[in-house]
Every structure is written in structure tokens, then in C-alpha cells.
Amino acid sequence: MEDDILTIEEVAKYLRVSERTVYDWAQKGEIPSGKIGTVWRFKKTEIEKWVNERLSSGSKPASQQLQIQVKNILSPDRIVFLNHSTKRDAIVELANNLATAPQVKNGSELSVEILKREELMSTAIGRGIAIPHVRLSSVTDLVMAVGVCKKPIADFQTLDDQPVNLLFMIAAAYNQHSYYLKTISYFSGKLKQPDLRESMLSAQTEMDIYNLLVRS
């Protein structure tokens, strides 16, 4: 439900930070929250909006640096054309692809944790885009996979009620918090370009999509 009420523990798990960090943010008014009696509670929809705003507001690094970063974390064999109508099936197929990356040491854990994360709060950010993401100790370095949907996926809980057509799945080592957030922020910003989204959806091959992401 869109108005689910979350605890500090649930928010901390979603943001991959400590419960103490969430408590401090709430105390300082830095995160949308309210008290019921003596305990902090958080509205799911407000936390999702807060996260998306923060991830989209980061400063953009130099284009050359970003181009190198994309090449370092994405390869053509991590791009998949998806033919599913539900988010679970699409996420599972993309996670199975990402699980074959050498940086991922436990593919089963990756699939389970990505789905758990999605159940806690939708990773759809609007404009037909979802960015499922997770940090795990069984991942040695940040890596990603991209899914281009042949069918729109309508059962993501999106901010703009638009079905999802593009999935960017990111897995990072547990100690890569800053790099992980910067990468999510980068793709959140990059995919605001309507021409890029349209070109990806009309691309015929995985290499075409790879080149679009590396060069744009």
C-alpha cells in the first residue's frame, strides 16, 4: 500500500544505513517523519519521494569520468531484452544475468535481497524507469545490468503511474555506500533525457544500448 507506515528499522534497511543514522536524521528534521507516542514512524510514500529527490540532486561529475565509470560497471553481456509483464519475473531474469558477473559471489543471495528490497519499497522513479539496487557483502565491487522491456510492466508502484520499460539493476559491495549512491544518482539524472530513453527502447541489439549509455 502507498501509505504504509515504516519503522526506523525498516527505513534503515531500505536506505542501507544504521538505525542510529535514521534516528539522528529524524531528530534533526532531515528526513520526513513523525512521532506516534514516543516512537518515530515514516510514511512510505514520503520516504520514497525524499530518496528520489536526494539521488537526483547530486552534482554531475565530468563527462569523461562518468564515461569511464559506465565502462567499468557495465558490459554488453549485462544488457538483456526482457519479455515479461510482471516486475517479479523481470527482476528475477535480470538478477540471474547479473549473478553471473565475477563481482557477484552469491547469485542466490542477490536475487533474494533484490526482491526483498523491492517488496519494502518500489525502486521505480518515474518516466518508465526502475533502478533495483542492493549492497551485499558477497559483492566485491559495484556492477550493474540493464533490462529493456519488450512489454511495459504495470505492477511497479511508480510516482507518475507510468509503466516501467527500462530497468537498471545495481549491486555493490557493502562498503561502497558513497559510490553506490553516486551511481544511482548518475543514472537517475542521465535517464531524464527523453531522447536517450526513446533510443534505448528502439535499439535492436545489446551493443546498440551499451554504446548509447557509454557515449551519451
Q: What is the mean pLDDT of residues 20-40?
A: 80
Residue 128 has pLDDT above 60, yes or no: yes
Q: Are residues 101 and 16 in the same domain?
A: no
Q: Are residues 46 and 78 in the same domain?
A: no
Q: Are residues 132 and 43 in the same domain?
A: no
Its domain, for residue 188, covers 63-215
Confidence of residue 59 (pLDDT cuts 50, 70, 90): very low
pLDDT for res 30: 77
Q: What is the mean pLDDT of residues 46-58?
A: 78
Q: Are residues 205 and 178 in the same domain?
A: yes
Helix ranges (DSSP H) in the chain:
8-15, 19-28, 44-56, 63-73, 87-98, 107-120, 177-190, 194-202, 206-215
Q: Are residues 21 and 84 in the same domain?
A: no
Least confident range from 50-54, 92-96, 208-212: namely 50-54
Q: What is the mean pLDDT of residues 35-51?
A: 85
Average per-residue pLDDT in the chain?
86
Residue 16 has pLDDT above 80, yes or no: yes
Q: Are residues 40 and 132 in the same domain?
A: no
Torsion angle defined by CA atoms of residues 145, 150, 154 and 159, in that order, rounded to the nearest 10 degrees: 50
pLDDT for res 3: 60
pLDDT for res 60: 45
Least confident range from 74-78, 142-146, 155-159: namely 155-159
Structural Rg of the chain based on CA atoms: 17
Tell me what percent of the residues of the chain surpass a pLDDT of 70.
91
Residue 151 CA to residue 54 CA, distance in Å, equals 30
pLDDT for res 50: 85
Confidence of residue 61 (pLDDT cuts 50, 70, 90): very low
CB 70 within 8 A of CB 78: no
Question: Residue 35: which CATH number?
Answer: 1.10.10
Q: Are residues 73 and 156 in the same domain?
A: yes
Into how many domains does the chain fold? 2
Q: Are residues 40 and 81 in the same domain?
A: no
pLDDT for res 57: 60
pTM: 0.69
Residue with cell 561529475: 61
Q: What is the mean pLDDT of residues 99-118?
A: 94
